[in-house]
Chains A and B, each alone.
Chain A
Amino acid sequence: MSNYFYVSPQQLINDRAEFAQKGIARGRSILAAIYDVGVVMVAENPSASLNKISEIYDRIAFAGVGRYNEFDRLREAGIRWADGTGFTYSREDVDARALANYYAQHIGDMFTEGPKPLEVEILVAQLGGTLRPTKLYRVAYEGTLTDEPHFAVLGGDAETIRSRFEASEAEPDGLATTLRHAVAALAGPERTIPVEDLEVCILEDRGGRRTFVRLSDAEVATLLTD
C-alpha cells in the first residue's frame, strides 16, 4: 500500500495550468480573423516547413500554438477524422464543431488525467457556406472551447494582441486590411515582422471544392503593401 500526499484539486489545477501556460508562452502567437469573404490565419513562424496552420478539410483549417509535436499529432488526427467521416457519410457531414468538441474533450482529459497537460492551444476555423456559418473555435490548454465571433488569438501574449487588434479593426474588413491589422497586432508597436517569418493561410471560396490556400511570401508582401 503506497502513501499518497493529499493535494487539493484546486492546487492541482493551478499547478497544471501554470505548467501549460509556461509552455505555451515560449512560442509565438497566432491570430485568426474573419474578413468580408473568408478567414485569414496569421502566425509568426520563422520555419518555412514546420507549419502551424494546416488544411483539415474542404472548408476547415487548423492552427496550433505551443509544443509542435503535440499540436501536430492533433492536426493529423483532425485530418484523419475529417477524411474518415467524409468517406463514411458525405463531404457535407464534416462539421468543424464536432471536431472542435473532440479536441476540447481530448485536451481537457489530458489536462486533468494525463501524465502532464498538453502545452497547446488549438484553433479550428470553418468557412461558412449554404450549410454552415463561418466559425472560429478556440480550444484552450485546459479544454475550454470558445466560439469567437470575429477573431481569435492563440498563444502566450494573447491578451495584448487581442486588445491591439480590437482597437484597429472593429468590424470584418477586406483581406489586405485585415492582414495588415493582424500583422501589426502580432508585432506590436516596437518591431516589424519580416515577411519570410510570417505564415499566412486563408479559407476563401474560389469556385472549387477546397478553399484552403497557403499564401506565398510574395503574395503576403503584395497584400501588406496594397
Chain B
Amino acid sequence: MGLPLYGAQDDPGPSFLAYAEREGLVSVTARSEALSPHATTVVALRYAEGVVMVGDRQATANYVASRDVRKIEAADRYTALAISGSAARGMEFIRMAQLSFEHYEKMTDTALSLEGKANYLSPIIQRNNLGTPLVVIPLLAGWDPSHRRGRVFEYDGAGGCYERQDFATIGSGSPFAESALRLGFRADLSLEEALDLGALALYEAGDNDPATGGPDFVRGIYPMMVVLDERGFTELPSDDVAARFRTIQERRAATSGVAGGTLR
C-alpha cells in the first residue's frame, strides 16, 4: 500500500469506509457466508444514569459452534456495539465500526457524536444485508457526553436506525428477552435494578431459545454484562455476572422452573 494522498476534489474525508472501499481494502459484494454460524441474543436497556447491555456467548449453526463469543464490544470509550446474525459478518462489522470511529477522531481531532456513529452504521448494514440471505443486525448503545444521558439505537435489516427511549433486543431470543423487559422496565431503574432485569431477560432467552446460550455453570462461561455511563464502557467481572445468574437459577429451582407469578 502506497501513501494514500488525494486531491481536494476526490478526498474521501474522515470516513474510513469511504477510503477502504476506494482502495479495495473491503469487498463490497461478498455473499458467501451461508454456512457461517449465527450469533444470538443481546439486550440493551436504559437506566437513570446510562445503559446496561447483556449478551449471551453462544454462536449457533446446526450445532453449538462456539460457547465463548463476545457479541458486545467497546466501539470506543463511550460506545458499545453488539451484533446478531452472521458471526463472520458481525465480527467484521464491529471491527469496521471501531476503526471508523477512531479514524474519524484522529483525522478531525474531534470525536464523532453518538448520533453520528449511529447514522454512520446505516449504510454499512444496508450494504451487508440487501441481497444477502443471512443478515447482521447490530445494536448501538452508549453514553452521550454532549447530551449527558445513555442512548440506545436499534436497526432494521434495511439499515433503518431508530432511537429507543426504553430498551432494545436483537437476535433469535428477542421475543423472550423482550417479554421480560416489557414487564420489568421503568424509566427510573437504578443501575442494580437494570443489571438484574437485563440478566433476567437474557436468562429467559437462554431458557426458551435453543440458539441462545444461558449461563454455563459447568464450563464457567457466563453472559457478558456491560455498563455505559459517564465513566465510559465497563464490563462486569465474570464472578459478579456468575453470582447474578446463580441467584436467578436458585430462585427458579425453588419454584420448579417457572417464574412463579412474579417477575423474578
Which B166-191 residues have C-beta < 8 A from chain A? none
Which 4 A/B pairs are nearest by Cβ-Cβ distance? A102-B3, A80-B4, A77-B5, A79-B106
| A157 close to chain B: CB less than 8 A | no
The 0/1 profile, CB within 8 Å of B marked 1, for residues 24-59 of chain A is 000000000000000000000000010100111000
Question: Given A54-B109, A55-B106: A84 and B19 within 8 A (CB)?
Answer: yes
Contact of B95 among A76, A78, A81, A87 (CB under 8 A): A87
Which A52-93 residues have C-beta < 8 A from chain B? 54-56, 73-74, 76-81, 83-88
Which A186-201 residues have C-beta < 8 A from chain B? none
Contact of B106 among A56, A77, A84 (CB under 8 A): A56
Shortest distance in angstroms between B231's beta carbon and chain A's nearest beta carbon?
14
**Can you identify 11 A-B contacts, CB atoms within 8 angstroms?**
A49-B109, A77-B3, A77-B4, A80-B103, A81-B4, A83-B106, A84-B4, A84-B23, A84-B25, A86-B99, A102-B2
Question: Given A76-B107, A79-B103: A84 and B3 within 8 A (CB)?
Answer: no
Which chain B residues lie closer than 8 Å to A78 at the CB level?
3
Which B1-58 residues have C-beta < 8 A from chain A? 1-6, 11, 16, 19-20, 23, 25
Q: How far is the CA of A83 from the CA of B4 in the complex (A)?
A: 11
Q: How far is the CA of A158 from the CA of B19 in the complex (A)?
A: 36
The 0/1 profile, CB within 8 Å of A marked 1, for residues 87-127 of chain B is 00000000100010011001101000000000000000000
Q: How far is the CA of A75 from the CA of B99 in the complex (A)?
A: 17
- The chain B residue sitting closest to A55, CB to CB, is B106
Q: How far is the CA of A56 from the CA of B102 in the complex (A)?
A: 10
B99 touching A87, Cβ below 8 Å: yes
Given contacts A77-B4, A83-B99, 19 further A-B contacts (CB under 8 A): A49-B109, A51-B109, A54-B106, A76-B11, A76-B107, A77-B5, A79-B103, A79-B107, A80-B4, A80-B103, A81-B1, A84-B4, A84-B23, A86-B99, A88-B25, A102-B3, A103-B3, A106-B3, A106-B5
The 0/1 profile, CB within 8 Å of A marked 1, for residues 184-218 of chain B is 00000000000000000000000000000000000
Q: How far is the CA of A103 from the CA of B4 in the complex (A)?
A: 11
Q: How far is the CA of A105 from the CA of B99 in the complex (A)?
A: 27
Q: How far is the CA of A85 from the CA of B19 in the complex (A)?
A: 12
- The chain B residue sitting closest to A80, CB to CB, is B4
Question: Given A51-B109, A76-B107, A79-B107: A85 and B1 within 8 A (CB)?
Answer: yes
Which chain A residues lie closer than 8 Å to B3 at the CB level?
77-78, 81, 102-103, 105-106
Which B215-249 residues have C-beta < 8 A from chain A? none
Q: How far is the CA of A103 from the CA of B9 in the complex (A)?
A: 22
Q: How far is the CA of A77 from the CA of B20 in the complex (A)?
A: 13
Which chain B residues lie closer than 8 Å to A102 at the CB level?
2-3
Q: How far is the CA of A49 from the CA of B108 in the complex (A)?
A: 10
Q: How far is the CA of A79 from the CA of B14 in the complex (A)?
A: 10
- The chain A residue sitting closest to B23, CB to CB, is A84
Which chain B residues lie closer than 8 Å to A56 at the CB level?
106
- The chain A residue sitting closest to B103, CB to CB, is A83
Which chain A residues lie closer than 8 Å to B6 at the CB level?
77
Which chain B residues lie closer than 8 Å to A106 at the CB level?
3, 5
Shortest distance in angstroms between B6's beta carbon and chain A's nearest beta carbon?
8
